[in-house]
Structure 1
Amino acid sequence: MIQQSKGKMFLADERGLNQLDWYRSYNTFNFGNYQHVHKQPVGDLYVLNDDTLAGGKSISMSVDEHSSIILIPVVGAIECMDDLGNITMTEPGHIQLLDMPAGSMFQLNNTYDEELVNFLQLWIKTDSTGHQVSHFDLFKDKNQLINFFGLPNATGYIGMFDGRADAVLQVSDSENHLFAFVIDGEFEVQNRLLHARDALVLWDMHEVEMEALCNNAIIMLIEIGGDKLGNSLWP
């Protein structure tokens, strides 16, 4: 039996928006010109942006705090150049994890002539060091959660599921938060209905149950440390 856990929803149509003619960024948390009292970070996870960049365009990002930046291509490949000139191309099915010291910058490039690219950015406060690229195969490992990154204070999982397939994630530390984000499709997570690009944070729990409600539904889960939600400005 699923027990109702403490939680907070972040609906896709209530996200912030920063945009230019050739760049659009939907912001789950406060970012740039978007600031809202109830869109505070979840522990050490303080940026989740859903970005679309036009063909041939570039966007630069500055990092104020020492962070691990995780880039997840959804549609098309994204090129990343750090402030030392290192360039990495990341395609769907891979992630790029960047160690970015406070005060550093990086640039994201769409190398296609005309096609749009869509990608997710996660920014996590951390003392971790080093860059890495990791690979996962959603089709080969279908209907299970894949551990696709690990930091001292955060662990990420991703999975593609058939309709009515389910999974249970054991939380390693009940003091942590569990953040769920639906990339595509629909899921029921701990008795909450999530549509594409909706998010949910849970706390004070030992495990999380989820069920896909359509075929090829994709979900991302992050177990994240940091300040408890009860100590921040939440409704």
Structure 2
Amino acid sequence: MKKILHKASTRGFADHGWLRSHHTFSFAGYHDPSRMNFGVLRVLNDDEVAGGMGFGTHPHQNMEIISIPLEGELEHKDSMGNVAVIKEGDVQVMSAGTGVNHSERNKNRDKKVKFLQIWVLPNKVNVSPRYDQITLDQTSLKNTFHQIISPDPKDIGVWIHQDAWFHLGDFDKGETISYGMRKKSNGLYIFLLEGKCRVAGEELNRRDGLGVWQVNTLEFEMMEAGQILLMEIPMSN
């Protein structure tokens, strides 16, 4: 097994007033040659947007873009004609493909919106742009890793153009949970959203990230109640 640990305090940080963003990997003004990506996982941003503010219309191309709201409501508009509001419990994906323009803003003026913005390099380029979202049954996350993203349109959750599987779970203190890799050649990026856990010989705290590869199964021991996001992705494209 090989691994790389990214403590929450080592992430890049940008404070634009209306936007506070922590970057696990190099992004915009934050550049670290040793933290460009983990396999095809290119961006993992932990964003907080002030009331009524947001990202104006901007383009994307040949990228799988995933948004996971953690608090508040995020309004999305795009050049495909989609207008949607996503909130905690929702998962949104957008395959940029040949090109798409979109905007994102905090729907509410009186409270913040917090969300994860994740970019995954696709295994197919210049596909037709597409949009999808789901609302999770929160009970399905209790003390289990619930699949939210896969490569298969017929599988559980939403799908992307990559041999990737994402899982999300809410766990009680004292729980022990195993995760088996879907593909042996894949790596697993673990992002601890809340709480404290022990995995792969490491103790993770809130917002710590751990990349693990050349492993078949991992066991998680919850030292505090918490929430974990797992991103299983190819280590090369």
Q: Against the structure 1 CA distance between its residues 92 and 64, is the aligned structure 2 distance closer, same or farther, given a 3 Å change threshold?
A: closer
Asked if 1:107 corresponds to 2:103, the answer is: yes
State yes or no: 1:53 paired with 2:49: yes
Pair 1:69-2:73 in alignment: no
TM-score normalised by structure 1 residue count: 0.89
Partner of 2:84: 88
Equivalent pair of 1:60/1:105 in contact (CA under 8 Å):
no
Name the counterpart of 1:130. 130
Determine what percentage of the aligned residue pairs are the same residue.
Answer: 28
The separation in 2 between residues aligned to 1:45 and 1:140, in whole angstroms, is: 25
Match of 1:227 in 2: 236
C-alpha distance in structure 2 between counterparts of 1:60 and 1:45, whole Å: 24
The SS at the match of 1:213 is strand
Report the 3-state secondary structure (helix = DSSP H, G, I; strand = E; otherwise coil) of the residue aligned with 1:214.
strand
Structure 2, unpaired ranges of 5+: 152-161
Residue 204 of structure 1 is matched in structure 2 by 214
Q: 1:214 to 1:138 in 2, by over 3 A?
A: farther
C-alpha separation in 2, matches of 1:99 and 1:60: 19
1:194 to 197, 204, 207: 204
Residues 61, 226 of structure 1: alpha-carbon distance in 2 compared, 3 angstrom cutoff: farther
Q: 1:163 to 1:61 in 2, by over 3 A?
A: farther
Task: Give the C-alpha shift of residue 131 in structure 1.
Answer: 1.6
Q: What residue number does 1:21 align with? A: 17
Give 2:157's aligned residue. Answer: none
Q: Secondary structure at the match of 1:144?
A: coil
- Compared with structure 1, are the counterparts of its residues 38 and 175 closer, same or farther at alpha carbon in structure 2 (3 Å cutoff)? same
Structure 1 residue 203 displacement after superposition: 0.6
Aligned residues: 223
* Corresponding residue for residue 154 of structure 2: none
1:82 shift after superposition: 1.7
Assess if the C-alpha contact under 8 Å between 1:62 and 1:103 holds in 2: no
Question: Which residue of the other structure, out of 74, 82, 91, is the alignment partner of 1:78?
Answer: 74
Say whether the 8 Å CA contact 2:194–2:207 is kept in structure 1. yes
- Tell me how large the CA RMSD over aligned residues is: 1.8
